[in-house]
Amino acid sequence: MDVKAWGLSNVGRLRGHNEDAFEIDPAGRLYLVADGMGGHSHGEVASTTAVKEIRRYVEAHGVRGAHPGGPGGRLLEAAIQAAHQRVLAAIRQDGALHGMGTTVVGLYLHDGIATVAHVGDSRLYRRRGGRLSLLTEDHTWVHEQIAAGYLSEEQARLHPLKNVVTRALGGEGSLKVDIREETVEAGDRYLLCSDGLTTMLRDEEIAERLGREQGAQEICRSLVHDAQARGGYDDITVVLVDIADR
Ligand code: CA
C-alpha cells in the first residue's frame, strides 16, 4: 500500500498562538489532529501533549506488540486513554492548567484496515469513488440538537454555541472514545481536520477541493487558504492521506 500524506496548520486571526496540533508518522501509518482549549496558551499544551503521547504509545506498543493480531481499534483506544491520563497528570502538577482539554481525531492504517478514533469535534472525511463521507460524528451540544431535530446542519455550523464539546481529553470522569474500522481501498483520500476548517467551509466545498487532481500538499494549501479567506478566526488544521490508485 503506497501512502502519501501531508499536514498543514495555521493560526487563527483572534489569538497569537495556535491551539491545534497534528502528527504524521509515515512509518507507523498514524495520522492525528487535535484541537486544544483552555485559557492563555494552555490549549496548545493539551493538544501537543495528546498527539505526542498517542504517537509514543502506538510506536511503543504497535499491533504486533501488546496487541498481537488484534485490531488497531484497541491500540488507538488505549493510546487515547493514555493521552487523556497524560493531560490530567499535567493539570494535577500545575493548577494553572486547570480547565485545559483537547479533541483528537486519529487514523491508523494497518493490514488494509483504516482505524478511525475520535473524541470531540475534529473530523475525518473519506473521499472514495467521487463521493465524500464523514466518518466521525461530532461530540458537541449542537450535534445533539441536530439529532433531536432542533437545529439544521447549516444553523449548527454557525451557532454561537458550536464550540461546546461534550467530550474532551482532560475532561472529568471516564473518557469514551468512538472507534470505527473500515477496509482501505486503492484511491481512497482521507482528510483529518479541526473545526477551524469545517466552520468556514461546507461539506460540498470540501468535497470539491478533495476531488481535484492535485497532490496532498496542494490540497492542504487550498483548504487552509480558502478557510482563511472566509475569515479564519479559529486555528485551521488539515492532514490529507492519499492511498495510491494501485
Ligand atoms: Ca478549533
Per-residue pLDDT of 191-203, as tens digits, reads 999 999 999 999 9
Which letter does DSSP use for residue 68 in this model? T
Whether 27 has a pLDDT exceeding 60, the answer reads: yes
195 CA → ligand 1 middle, Å: 5
Q: Give the pLDDT of residue 68.
A: 45
194 CA → ligand 1 middle, Å: 6
20 CA → ligand 1 middle, Å: 7
CA distances (Å), origin 171, targets 11, 127, 233, 243: 24, 32, 25, 35
Is residue 4 within 8 Å of residue 135, measured between CB atoms?
A: no
Which band of pLDDT confidence, cut at 50, 70 and 90, is reported for residue 69?
Answer: very low
Cα dihedral angle (34, 110, 73, 206), rounded to 10 degrees?
Answer: 40
18 CA → ligand 1 middle, Å: 9
Highest mean pLDDT among 132-136, 152-156, 229-233: 132-136
E strand or H helix at 86:
helix 72-93
98 CA → ligand 1 middle, Å: 19
Closest CA to 108 of 5, 245, 234: 5
**How far is 30 from 27, CA to CA, in rounded Å?**
8
236-243 and 3-10 as β-strands: parallel, antiparallel, unpaired? Answer: antiparallel
219 CA → ligand 1 middle, Å: 20
